[in-house]
Structure 1
Amino acid sequence: MGSRFSAPIPHSESPPTGSITPSSIDSPSGTISDSDAFSAPPSRAPSRHPSISNGKPAFKGNDLRELPPSSHQYPGSSPARPEVPTHPSSNNIAATRPRAPSTASHDSQGKFTLKDLLASSTPKLARKSSNRSASSKKSDSDRGPPSTNGDSTASLLKKYGVCERVAIGKGATSVVRLAHKWDRSEEKLYAVKEFRKRRKNETEKEYVKKLTAEFCISSTLHHTNIVETVDLVQDEQQHWCEVMEYCPGGDLYAAIKKGGMSPSEVECCFKQILSGVSYLHSQGVAHRDIKPENLFFDARGHLKIGDYGASTVYRLPWEATVHMSTGLCGSEPYIAPEQFSGKPYDARLVDIWACGVVYYCLHFQELPWRVAQRSDPLYAAYADACAATSNRDGANAASTPATISNLSPRACRPVIRKMLDPDPKRRLTIEDAMAQPWVQGIEVCVNSAKPTHIHVHARSMLQAHADKAQ
Structure 2
Amino acid sequence: MSTTNSTNSAAGGNTPHNAMGSVLNSVVSSLSLVSLSSTNNSHRSSTDQGTVHSGESISTGGSSHVGLGLRRFLGGRARRKKLLQDKLKGIGEKVEQRREEHRAERKEKREAAKSLKEKQREKEKEKELAILDVAAAEAEIQEDDSEVTAKLVSEYGEICHKGSDPNEELVLGQGAGGAVLLVKRPSDGHLFAVKKFLRQNFRESLYEYRKRLEDEYRIAAAIRNPNLVRTYELLRTSDEKLFAIVMDYCPYDFFAMVMAGIMSRKEIYCYFKQMVKGVQYMHHNGFAHRDLKLDNCVVTKEGILKIVDFGSVAVFDQEAVSRLEKKENEDDDEGARDSNSDSSERSEADGTLSYSIIKARGVAGSDPYLAPECLALTPYDPRAADVWSLAIVFCCVILRRFPWKIPRNSDGAYKAFIAAPSETVDAKGRKRIFGPDRLLRALPSKTRPVIGKMLSLNPDERITIDQVAEEPFVKQIEECYVEQDGAKEIVVNAQDHTHHLMMAEEIEKMEQDKKVLEKEKKDLEKSIGGGDDTKK
Distance (whole Å) between structure 1 residues aligned to residue 436 and residue 174 of structure 2: 42
Shift, 1:414, TM fit: 0.9
Within a 5 Å distance, the mapping from 1:48-67 to structure 2 comes to none
Residues 108-128 of structure 1 show CA distances to partners (whole Å, capped at 9, x for unaligned) of xxxxxxxxxxxxxxxxxxxxx
Distance (whole Å) between structure 2 residues aligned to residue 357 and residue 275 of structure 1: 16
Instruction: Count residues with an aligned counterpart.
Output: 301
1:332 is aligned to 2:370 = no
Aligned to 1:451: 495
Shift, 1:197, TM fit: 4.0
Aligned to 1:405: 441
1:166 is aligned to 2:170 = yes
Aligned to 1:380: 415
Distance (whole Å) between structure 2 residues aligned to residue 361 and residue 446 of structure 1: 23
Distance (whole Å) between structure 2 residues aligned to residue 438 and residue 200 of structure 1: 48
Distance (whole Å) between structure 1 residues aligned to residue 251 and residue 300 of structure 2: 6
CA separation of 1:237 and 1:175: change in aligned 2, threshold 3 A: farther
Aligned to 2:316: 314
Indicate if the aligned counterparts of 1:249 and 1:301 stay in contact, CA closer than 8 A.
no
Distance (whole Å) between structure 2 residues aligned to residue 431 and residue 282 of structure 1: 9
CA separation of 1:326 and 1:415: change in aligned 2, threshold 3 A: same
Distance (whole Å) between structure 2 residues aligned to residue 258 and residue 422 of structure 1: 31
Counterpart of 2:391 in 1: which secondary structure? helix
Corresponding residue to 2:246 among 219, 243, 256: 243
Shift, 1:261, TM fit: 1.0
Residues 121-175 of structure 1 show CA distances to partners (whole Å, capped at 9, x for unaligned) of xxxxxxxxxxxxxxxxxxxxxxxxxxxxxx9876532221121323222234422
1:415 is aligned to 2:450 = yes
Distance (whole Å) between structure 2 residues aligned to residue 314 and residue 340 of structure 1: 19
Shift, 1:461, TM fit: 6.2
Distance (whole Å) between structure 1 residues aligned to residue 204 and residue 318 of structure 2: 30
Indicate if the aligned counterparts of 2:418 and 2:436 stay in contact, CA closer than 8 A.
no
1:345 is aligned to 2:380 = yes
Q: Specify the code of the residue in structure 2 equivalent to 1:221.
A: I
Distance (whole Å) between structure 2 residues aligned to residue 373 and residue 196 of structure 1: 31
Indicate if the aligned counterparts of 1:324 and 1:347 stay in contact, CA closer than 8 A.
yes
Shift, 1:419, TM fit: 0.4
Counterpart of 1:357 in 2: which secondary structure? helix
Counterpart of 2:361 in 1: which secondary structure? coil
Aligned to 1:298: 300
Aligned to 1:260: 262
Distance (whole Å) between structure 1 residues aligned to residue 232 and residue 504 of structure 2: 23
Shift, 1:431, TM fit: 0.9
Distance (whole Å) between structure 2 residues aligned to residue 288 and residue 203 of structure 1: 24
Distance (whole Å) between structure 1 residues aligned to residue 435 and residue 405 of structure 2: 23
Aligned to 1:366: 401
TM-score by length of 1: 0.59
Q: Specify the code of the residue in structure 2 equivalent to 1:326.
A: R
TM-score by length of 2: 0.52
1:215 is aligned to 2:217 = yes
Q: Specify the code of the residue in structure 2 equivalent to 1:374.
A: N
Indicate if the aligned counterparts of 2:419 and 2:435 stay in contact, CA closer than 8 A.
no
Distance (whole Å) between structure 2 residues aligned to residue 353 and residue 339 of structure 1: 11
Distance (whole Å) between structure 2 residues aligned to residue 365 and residue 400 of structure 1: 19
Distance (whole Å) between structure 2 residues aligned to residue 257 and residue 306 of structure 1: 19
Residues 265-299 of structure 1 show CA distances to partners (whole Å, capped at 9, x for unaligned) of 11111111111111110011101111100011012
Distance (whole Å) between structure 2 residues aligned to residue 463 and residue 371 of structure 1: 31
Which is greater in Rg?
2
Indicate if the aligned counterparts of 1:218 and 1:229 stay in contact, CA closer than 8 A.
yes
Indicate if the aligned counterparts of 2:216 and 2:311 stay in contact, CA closer than 8 A.
yes
Aligned to 2:473: 438
More helix per residue: 1 or 2?
Answer: 2
Counterpart of 1:454 in 2: which secondary structure? coil
Distance (whole Å) between structure 2 residues aligned to residue 207 and residue 249 of structure 1: 30
Shift, 1:398, TM fit: 11
Aligned to 1:425: 460
Aligned to 1:78: none
Q: Specify the code of the residue in structure 2 equivalent to 1:455.
A: H
Distance (whole Å) between structure 2 residues aligned to residue 260 and residue 451 of structure 1: 19
Distance (whole Å) between structure 1 residues aligned to residue 495 and residue 238 of structure 2: 45
Indicate if the aligned counterparts of 1:153 and 1:233 stay in contact, CA closer than 8 A.
no
Shift, 1:227, TM fit: 0.9
Corresponding residue to 1:277 among 264, 276, 279: 279
Distance (whole Å) between structure 2 residues aligned to residue 331 and residue 380 of structure 1: 19
Distance (whole Å) between structure 2 residues aligned to residue 442 and residue 173 of structure 1: 35
Aligned to 1:113: none
Counterpart of 1:157 in 2: which secondary structure? helix
CA separation of 1:386 and 1:312: change in aligned 2, threshold 3 A: farther
RMSD, matched Cα: 3.0
Aligned to 2:510: none
Indicate if the aligned counterparts of 1:314 and 1:323 stay in contact, CA closer than 8 A.
yes
CA separation of 1:271 and 1:199: change in aligned 2, threshold 3 A: closer
Distance (whole Å) between structure 2 residues aligned to residue 204 and residue 406 of structure 1: 48
Shift, 1:354, TM fit: 0.6
Counterpart of 1:345 in 2: which secondary structure? coil
Counterpart of 2:319 in 1: which secondary structure? coil
1:156 is aligned to 2:191 = no
Shift, 1:258, TM fit: 1.1
Q: Which has the higher contact order (CA 8 A, sep 6+)?
A: 1
Distance (whole Å) between structure 2 residues aligned to residue 406 and residue 153 of structure 1: 49
Counterpart of 2:189 in 1: which secondary structure? strand
Indicate if the aligned counterparts of 1:258 and 1:457 stay in contact, CA closer than 8 A.
no
CA separation of 1:306 and 1:386: change in aligned 2, threshold 3 A: farther
Aligned to 2:186: 182
Q: Which runs of 5+ in 1 are unaligned?
A: 1-150, 389-396, 465-470
CA separation of 1:281 and 1:187: change in aligned 2, threshold 3 A: same
CA separation of 1:204 and 1:457: change in aligned 2, threshold 3 A: same
Q: Specify the code of the residue in structure 1 equivalent to 2:317.
A: R
Distance (whole Å) between structure 1 residues aligned to residue 422 and residue 307 of structure 2: 32
Counterpart of 1:178 in 2: which secondary structure? strand
Distance (whole Å) between structure 1 residues aligned to residue 148 and residue 180 of structure 2: 18
Q: Specify the code of the residue in structure 2 equivalent to 1:216.
A: R
CA separation of 1:321 and 1:401: change in aligned 2, threshold 3 A: same
Indicate if the aligned counterparts of 2:235 and 2:243 stay in contact, CA closer than 8 A.
yes
Aligned to 1:87: none
Distance (whole Å) between structure 2 residues aligned to residue 200 and residue 381 of structure 1: 41
Distance (whole Å) between structure 2 residues aligned to residue 297 and residue 462 of structure 1: 15
Q: Specify the code of the residue in structure 1 equivalent to 2:446.
A: A
Residues 45-98 of structure 1 show CA distances to partners (whole Å, capped at 9, x for unaligned) of xxxxxxxxxxxxxxxxxxxxxxxxxxxxxxxxxxxxxxxxxxxxxxxxxxxxxx
Q: Specify the code of the residue in structure 1 equivalent to 2:384.
A: L
Counterpart of 2:404 in 1: which secondary structure? coil
Distance (whole Å) between structure 1 residues aligned to residue 209 and residue 266 of structure 2: 45
